Amino acid sequence: MSDLETLSWGHGFFDRFPLDESRAPGSRQVSGAFGSLVDPTPVARPSLVGWSQSFSKHFGLSRPDDASVGLRVLAGNQVLPGMKPLAACYGGHQFGHWAGQLGDGRAISLGEAPDLKGNLWEFQLKGAGPTPYSRRADGRAVLRSSIREFICSEAMFHLGVPTTRALSVVSTGEPVVRDMFYDGHPKEEPGAIVCRVSPSFLRFGNFQIFAARGETQLLRTLVDETMNRFFPELSTESPAREAEWFRIICERTAVLMGEWMRVGFVHGVMNTDNMSILGLTIDYGPYGWLDDYDPSWTPNTTDLPGRRYCYGRQPAIGLWNLTRLAEALLTLVPEQKDLFEESLASFQGVFQKVFLRSQAQKLGLKELDLERDEFLIVELDRLLTESQADMTLFYRELATGFSIETAERSALPDFLPEVFYAGLTADLTAAWTRWFQVYADRLRSEGQSPENRLEMMNAVNPLYVPRNYLVQEAIESAEVGDFSKVEELLAVLESPYVFRENRESYAKKRPDWARSKPGCSTLSCSS
Ligand code: AMP
Ligand code: MG
């Protein structure tokens, strides 16, 4: 086992670009550069709050103790030879409007290092102090948000959803002032730093900023380097290589949207600066998980008036964001406009295919057809919403608690009222009975064995997800110095599809007290 010190650190990708090396203090507009060299700001008393064993083993890293070099690095108190700390410059559309330069205001990339298989990963500290992109903010992050990012990014990986990873969360021993609901009540909170890791943290916004500024040469280099390094499947011979690449980005984004819908994840801030060019879930902020199924639900209080980023709109917003990316890339290759438009036009179809396949599996069916199975799909959506069904528990119970014979007796499965947050009215009872009959007919027509169906369903319907209130409980313990619940929760989330004894408390409906409690139902961007 080794320490971060023994990894072989480099910064090859960034060296392909002009960088802002001025190290001038303060926030500013940075042009003509991929990003700015900036050192993390040391913190007073770092202490390890969470460590991802499952991720660290890819590098053979052992858990750092409080006196180790590893911990100093994770806290931003030491930079290792070979690292070249950098904050990237990017722009973005926020809530539908071009916001100009944003950039890594509190994330600092330390460098890249190979895992034991030789794959390169970029290591980033989030909350490690100000950068030229911090604008009026402090470059820091609070413990609650850092734990949320740490737990959820690891949980997503184990759910099989494309995501950036997290290695550690470290408390800084320094307070950070936040006005959690922007209502004039700022308060001191414990500060923390997440070390997150990904093949790349490139966002749509990295490309947009160069296009917006007319920095064509930089955009050209970024596009070429990104295609060469991260998309080896692209042929170097292709006459319209950028369009081919864009088609892959569209596909990956469609897959990602389908995966979020499958597990009930709501990102909450799908601004174009929070969209990964690799199709990964990135920037865990005021995200949330559906407890009671509701396509219009958004966890982000800032998003409440318009619900732009609610669960049900995520695929459409994915397409909107891709359209903005296309506009940026087309400044470079205007002659490929038709091909880019073809990819955008086929996004809906690609997403639908992904959605139908995953929805079929969620129901234990070999296939779903949009026309033939319209009732099954659309009515289920309505019934889950109106019954306020717990999305996670509904699908798990459906796998074990439903049989064709129940439907033949015109009875409802016993589990049904148990997984609802709303009462079962007479209308809903009649509608569910009808739905289960149609469902039973479809199962019968496929002639699958109950065992096969169970296996198929439990492979895509998780039992344990990072429910908002579970994460909040781990946060509240950590805020009073007990860090044990963070890794306990993580351990459960590392096998989300497999039932385990003694884990009942992690697979329960949201308790009443959590229904409208801040952190459990609503969050703000203040983190
Ligand atoms: P987000 O909505 O969290 O993705 O952040 C949008 C922009 O604000 C990004 O450029 C962030 O780097 C920046 N930002 C958010 N919080 C802070 C902070 N505490 N200090 C500096 N920059 C921040
Ligand atoms: Mg962001």
Instruction: Give the pLDDT of the chain (527 residues) as one tens digit per residue.
Output: 789 999 999 998 999 999 999 999 999 999 999 999 999 999 999 999 999 999 999 999 999 998 999 999 999 999 999 999 999 999 999 999 999 999 999 999 999 999 999 999 999 999 999 999 999 999 999 999 999 999 999 999 999 999 999 999 999 999 999 988 788 889 999 999 999 999 999 999 999 999 999 999 999 999 999 999 999 999 888 889 999 999 999 999 999 999 999 999 999 999 999 999 999 999 999 999 999 999 999 999 999 889 999 999 999 999 999 999 999 999 999 999 999 999 999 999 999 999 999 999 999 999 999 999 999 999 999 999 999 999 999 999 999 999 998 888 888 999 999 999 999 999 999 999 999 999 999 999 999 899 999 999 999 999 999 999 999 999 999 999 999 999 999 999 999 999 999 999 999 999 999 998 888 888 887 77
Ligand 1 site, residue 453, Cβ cutoff 6 A: no
pTM above 0.95, yes or no: yes
Ligand 1 site, residue 140, Cβ cutoff 6 A: yes
Amino acid residing at 513: W
Ligand 2 centroid, distance to 517 Cα (angstroms): 25
User: Which residues make beta-bridge pairs with 389?
Assistant: 420
Ligand 1 mutation pick, 126, 135, 196, 527, max ligand atoms within 8 A of CB: 135
Q: How is the chain split among helix, strand and coil, in percent rounded to 5?
A: 45, 15, 40
Task: Please identify, by atom number, the ligand 1 atom nearest to the C-alpha of residue 90.
Answer: 10
Ligand nearest to the CA of 99: 1
Catalytic residue ranges: 273
Task: Please identify, by atom number, the ligand 1 atom nearest to the C-alpha of residue 131.
Answer: 21
Query: Closest by alpha carbon to 439, among 497, 359, 385, 509?
Result: 359
Distance CA 74, CA 46 (A): 9
State whether the Cα torsion 164-149-51-205 is positive or negative: positive
Query: Closest by alpha carbon to 91, among 258, 1, 8, 210?
Result: 210
Ligand 2 centroid, distance to 398 Cα (angstroms): 37
Ligand 1 site, residue 274, Cβ cutoff 6 A: yes
Task: Please identify, by atom number, the ligand 1 atom nearest to the C-alpha of residue 138.
Answer: 20
Ligand 1 site, residue 139, Cβ cutoff 6 A: yes
Residue 524 class from Cβ within 10 Å (0-12 exposed, 13-18 middle, 19+ buried)? buried
Ligand 2 centroid, distance to 203 Cα (angstroms): 9
Ligand 1 site, residue 138, Cβ cutoff 6 A: yes
**Residue environment code for 440-455, b if the CB has 16+ CB neighbours within 10 A, otherwise e:** bebbeeeeeeeeebee
Query: Closest by alpha carbon to 525, among 274, 293, 324?
Result: 274
